[in-house]
Structure 1
Amino acid sequence: MNYETPLYRPPSEAQSLILQATIGCSHNACTFCSMYSKKKFRVRSLEEVYEDISWARANYGKVQRIFLADGDALAMETEALLAILKKLTDSFPEAERISIYAGPKNILAKTEQELVAIRQAGIKLAYFGLESGDAEVLQAVKKGVTPQEMIKAASKVRAAGIELSLTVILGLGGKKHSRQHALHTAEVVSQIDPEYLAALTLMTEKSTPLAARIAGGEFSLLSPREVLLELKMMLACLEVKNCLFRSNHASNYFAVGGLLPLDKERLLAETEQALGDYLLLKNEYLRGL
């Protein structure tokens, strides 16, 4: 495979075939993120992608899951994406799922008919970086969309029959906006009502604009205890119908998981237990992106 590194994928795609349909991130402006800062966004040619698919078919055994990278493969023209999906389904008929990162702006740029066609061509799951449901926080981190646009984009994906996995970032509002970040994020997630929800915890690298704000005293990071309080507040306010929640990402101080709303009380109790026993929290040096 002709990977252009660094290469990122969601934790649940650890055993998946990773195929780079695009390089970098089409937005690449979030103040907290350095994942694709050294990559200039481009859409790979079909020839390049087809070569990787052929190589993977010749060298790998049974492939059950496929993930389309990089940061937002949905940014490519629908016709090209459909061609790649056909090549994948023809080459890997045994694959049970093809998934993709999907940014809100690129979702909104697609028509409902295009999204339905993408679903019918094989995309079953979209990873959607909500990060926050608070308007001030989203504006501060330069996400490029409003909470209302987040809801609209997510709703378009679900209406097309594509399952949705949302990610939110604990601590993204800092100390100043912690409460509104938790409450408004819970509100937006509840309106979207995704199949999956994952919580990460803010980590900053020195090269990011947010790190400069921290160094300048403009942004205050949460303590581990404050992160847990934010998590507890968000969980308590979530009103979803059937959502698998996890906080098992390497960035988190504490991992909980369960089905909401069925396991809500257990998740809250486990979080409360962690608030009273710091031995349950991950050491700072063990956290990672």
Structure 2
Amino acid sequence: MKKQTSFSTKGQRADIGDLTINRLLANRYTDAVGPFVFLDHIVPKFHSSSISSGTGGHPHRGIATLSYIIDGEDEHFDSAGNYAKVYSGGIQWMKAGNGIIHDETLNVDSRTGTNRTHAFQFWINLPAKNKAEKPEYLAIQSEDVPGKSLSNDSGWIKVIAGDYEELHSKIPNYSEQFLYHIHLEADRNFSISINENVEVAAFLPSNNTTLNDIEFQAGEFIEFDRIAGEITIENKLQVATDIILFGGEPYTEPIIAEGPFVMNNLTEIGDAYSDFYSGKYGQIVQKR
């Protein structure tokens, strides 16, 4: 049985510097898909030169941030002393836990010389028991992201988070979660089975694509019902297309989000701000 669509929507602009950004989650229909409570799409864009666009140093608590860089070079600093650059195809993952300050800057990829940037940032909500843990950090380069070819030369799948068949992401799972990048060649299709009571959404970053016999437009965010069933993705175009598919088990604890903090009640939000302003998150000492 094919899963039914719950809703579809397009994002709202949230540009930063030279980057064009569409904010897709949270939206007017839902605050979360599984553990995912935030999604920004940094739209594909060519630049005439180096850009160094970023948010500047800012705090987080109660979540893990995940930046997936399709094209570009992402530089990360944080108040726990972590530093790394990841390049096209790489991932920056940071568990904010009980509080951290970080700064990410997206630039063109200095290794390849291409001037295109394209990326996603997700926030993954932590269970209440993990929100008080110490921060952690991982930088994963493209060659360490698990992936494989699909059958019948249909394309490929990369596992950014979670598992798919024999593929396992290095990113920790605090609840059931999955985040896939699926690349589908022209006039090909791919089907995936989703279990009962699993929340799942798709995003189409580049082209119109048919999902369970309904054609959706490029830039659309589509959520499906929680009944067990299949999602069949069809690329009826004469060019390849990409799909971001993600979700997991429902987050059953209260979700209170304010600014850069996602906690379980307003008292915890107040504590998050108080601890930040009192300097308990530390500071980014030196940029390299």
TM-score class, shorter:
0.3 to 0.5
State the TM-score, normalized to the length of structure 2.
Answer: 0.32
**Structure showing the higher helix proportion among its residues:** 1
- Higher strand fraction (1 or 2): 2
Higher relative contact order (CA closer than 8 Å, sequence separation 6+)? 2
